[in-house]
Amino acid sequence: DQQVKQNSPSLSVQEGRISILNCDYTNSMFDYFLWYKKYPAEGPTFLISISSIKDKNEDGRFTVFLNKSAKHLSLHIVPSQPGDSAVYFCAARAEGAQKLVFGQGTRLTINP
């Protein structure tokens, strides 16, 4: 079963506007969540993370929001820039475990 789901395979946003990427999870034991960005032929690059004891974490243009009751998290990028065009993966780690469980990814395209 898919414990981490990114239901939007792709998203297109105009440069300068806000990009919102969504992720849902089913495992209530997840306590640490991460977002990774991936360019073609490169490995995933860590962007930002959030612990389950928080509901928001901000780092520059990137903000992650966590809604534990809804088992939902989102990544906001504002303002969006052409270099943000990439595939974004949501990942989660269960309490007591080390492995990450990834979503299927969302391809973000920033249009000039």
Partner 1 sequence: GAGVSQTPSNKVTEKGKYVELRCDPISGHTALYWYRQSLGQGPEFLIYFQGTGAADDSGLPNDRFFAVRPEGSVSTLKIQRTERGDSAVYLCASSPRTEDSHSNQPQHFGDGTRLSIL
Size of site (CB under 8 A) for partner 1: 25
Told to check if 102 binds partner 1 by CB under 8 A, we report yes
x/- letters, 36..75, toward partner 1 (CB under 8 A): x----xxxxxx--x-x------------------------
CB of 12 to partner 1, least distance (A): 18
Residues near 85 by beta carbon (within 8 Å), at least 6 away in sequence: 108, 109, 110
* Contact characters 77-96, partner 1, x per CB under 8 A: ------------x-x---xx
**Helices first, then strands: H and E counts in the chain:** 0, 11
Distance between CA atoms of residues 97 and 76, nearest Å = 27
Binding positions for partner 1, rule: CB under 8 A: 4, 32, 34, 36, 41-46, 49, 51, 89, 91, 95-105
